[in-house]
Chains A and B, each alone.
Chain A
Amino acid sequence: MLLDFGNVGMLLLVALVFPLLALGTAFFIRPRPRQHGIEKSLPYECGVDTVGETWVQFRASYFLYALVFVAFDIETVFLYLWAIKFQELGKFAFIEMFIFLNILLVGLGYAWKKGALEWK
């Protein structure tokens, strides 16, 4: 099993080297800001300059989506486990997962009723 994860390790290595190579190449061949003036060192040479800070305060209601996402993300783990053993465990597991999903559907219904799913 560990040998299989060697492939994952190779992929991680490539994923690490790839952006480093791209950014490193860009570092060497990019125009030097001092030679071409301040305009060249702007993030975008054309278009409208940004006004004010880039970091703005987000609305608190966005946090709700993040938290609901976490709940459903954890649910997928259980669903995955159920899906791979579904055919062997049969009806019993099906009812079990039905109850599990129904409990979570109550939460989704509550969110819906409270208008939490509306994008304002």
Chain B
Amino acid sequence: MNELIYTVAFYIFAAITVAAAFGVVTKSNLVHSALLLALCFIGVSGLYVLLQADFLAAVQILIYNGAIAIVFVLGTMLTRRSSRHGTNDTEVNIPSRVVTLVSGLFVVVTLGVIATTPWHYSSGVIVEDTPSLLAQLILTDYMVVMEAAAVLLLAAMIGAIVLAKGVEE
């Protein structure tokens, strides 16, 4: 019974993710695309939950939905278009043979790798309390990485200020 619920949940989340991602590409309104992207992120976080990565799922919702999707929507608001319709048109893209070939090759290679990789189930035990384990690791073994993340965030923040100030002047 549990196995069945797990499988059903997986297919529901996978369907939500793929359908939303498809909508992101095909919608002609950029704002709709951005909102569908948020739905896609929610689907991915559902998949994380099924993989027992509950903290990662929460972070996915917090950062990707709470921040990245907002930035996308705000970014579209900055453009000088009176109407949002046709902001994401794909009709003008002429199908190129080279692009089709390269992306087709990519799909074939990816599917080939997935099919030929011997997948193993992890022998590690399921961690019940992921956040505290992560905290232990980040604050002791990977402390340099955490400080590096701070520097990266600092660089991003200064870059944002420089860019926004440059536009204003």
Contact = CB atoms under 8 A, between A and B. Distances in A.
Interface of A: 1-2, 5-6, 8-9, 53, 55, 57-64, 66-71, 73-78, 80-82, 84-85, 88-89, 92-93, 96-97, 99-100, 103-104, 106-108, 110-111, 114, 116
B67 to A, nearest CB: 4
B95 to A, nearest CB: 30
B155 to A, nearest CB: 9
Interface string B1-40: 0100110010000000000000000000000000000000
A89 B158 CA distance: 31
Contact of A1 (B52, B59, B78): B52
B154 A104 contact: yes
Contacts of B167: 60-61
Given A58-B77, A74-B63, A103-B153, 14 more contacts: A55-B77, A59-B168, A63-B75, A64-B161, A73-B66, A73-B67, A74-B149, A78-B150, A81-B134, A85-B139, A99-B147, A104-B157, A107-B157, A116-B164
Interface in B99-151: 126, 128, 131-132, 134-136, 138-140, 143, 146-147, 149-151
Q: How large is the interface on B (under 10, 10 to 19, 20 to 34, 35 or more residues)?
A: 35 or more
B contact patch SS: helix
B82 interface: yes
B9 A57 contact: no
A80 B151 contact: no
A2 to B, nearest CB: 7
A100 B165 contact: no
A103 B154 contact: yes
Contact of A2 (B50, B62, B63, B84): B50
Contact of B164 (A60, A96, A108): A60
Given A1-B128, A5-B54, A57 B157 contact: no
Contact of B82 (A55, A62, A71, A76): A55
A52 to B, nearest CB: 8
